[in-house]
């Protein structure tokens, strides 16, 4: 199997990280892989922020969890609790992707998803584990939204977080459902 396919087939979502921080060189390479992603009409509406500040990550995590806990539907909060009560799974760093709305609205989400997968595959190829964290949006949905955005230096946009670091677990890729594939001859 070639290296690209190997990264595709060995990537998994890591939900328990050690506190070891990836080196800046690797983080820069991963960030470059992010902005190497294709985007519709080459619009590149994204902004990529590498965050290593544990204090800020912990503040964001608390904000997101508090918001989840306050919601009438507790299912998401309970899901997180059943996984150890952490949104960021102790990751030593993360990438925040902010992306402005495209025309037609929603098209930017494709771009964001492609960028996120580039990040996870580049990380895997460097021996760094990752987890896309859609729940990061909760950190930006409460009272501290403007404060966090100002500190991180972005204005508007959809946010996804991608957790990065070294695994403190034995992860494995999900089972492939080959029945989802059909071939019409």
Question: CA 136, CA 80: separation in Å to the nearest integer?
Answer: 12
State whether residue 37 is helix, strand or coil: coil
State whether residue 82 is helix, strand or coil: helix
Per residue in 146-163, is it b (16+ CB within 10 Å) or e — as a string?
Answer: eebbeebebeebbbbbbb
Q: Judged by CB, which is closer to ligand FMN: 45, or 139?
A: 139
- Told to check if 13 binds ligand FMN by CB under 6 A, we report yes
Q: Judged by CB, which is closer to ligand FMN: 12, or 46?
A: 12
Q: Of the listed pieces 1-9, 125-133, 147-155, 175-183, which binds ligand FMN according to CB under 6 A?
A: 125-133
- Told to check if 99 binds ligand FMN by CB under 6 A, we report no
Q: Of the listed pieces 18-26, 28-36, 39-47, 126-134, which binds ligand FMN according to CB under 6 A?
A: 126-134
Q: Judged by CB, which is closer to ligand FMN: 94, or 131?
A: 131
Q: Judged by CB, which is closer to ligand FMN: 106, or 150?
A: 106
For residue 5 the two structure tokens come to 């396919």
- Told to check if 12 binds ligand FMN by CB under 6 A, we report yes
Number of residues that bind ligand FMN (CB under 6 A): 10
Bridge partner list, 131: 163
Three-state SS annotation for 155-167: CCCEEEEEEEECE
| Element containing residue 68 per DSSP (H, E) | helix 54-70
Quick note: the x/- pattern for ligand FMN over 130-159, rule CB under 6 A, is -xxxxx------------------------
Which residues in 15-44 contact ligand FMN (CB under 6 A)?
Answer: 15
Question: CA 118, CA 8: separation in Å to the nearest integer?
Answer: 10
Residue 106: which of 161, 147, 158 has the closest Cα? 158
Tally the residues of the chain: 185
* CB-based closest residue to ligand FMN: 134
Contact residues for ligand FMN (CB under 6 A)? 12-13, 15, 131-135, 173-174
């Amino acid at each position: 199997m070639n290296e690209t396919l190997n990264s595709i087939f060995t990537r998994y979502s890591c939900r328990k990280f050690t506190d070891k921080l990836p080196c800046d060189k690797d983080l820069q390479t991963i960030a470059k892989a992010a902005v190497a992603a294709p985007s519709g009409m080459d619009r590149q509406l994204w902004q990529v922020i590498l965050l290593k500040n544990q204090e800020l990550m912990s503040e964001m995590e608390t904000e997101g969890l508090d918001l989840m806990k306050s919601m009438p539907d507790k299912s998401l909060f309970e899901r997180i609790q059943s996984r150890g009560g952490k949104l960021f799974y102790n990751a030593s760093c993360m990438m925040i992707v902010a992306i402005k709305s495209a025309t037609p609205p929603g098209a930017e989400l494709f771009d964001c998803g492609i960028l996120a997968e580039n990040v996870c595959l580049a990380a895997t190829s460097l021996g760094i584990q990752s987890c896309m964290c859609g729940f990061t949006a909760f950190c930006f949905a409460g009272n501290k939204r403007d404060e966090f955005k100002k500190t991180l230096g972005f204005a508007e946009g959809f946010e996804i977080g991608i957790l990065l670091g070294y695994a403190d677990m034995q992860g494995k890729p999900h089972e492939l459902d080959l029945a989802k594939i059909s071939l019409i001859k």
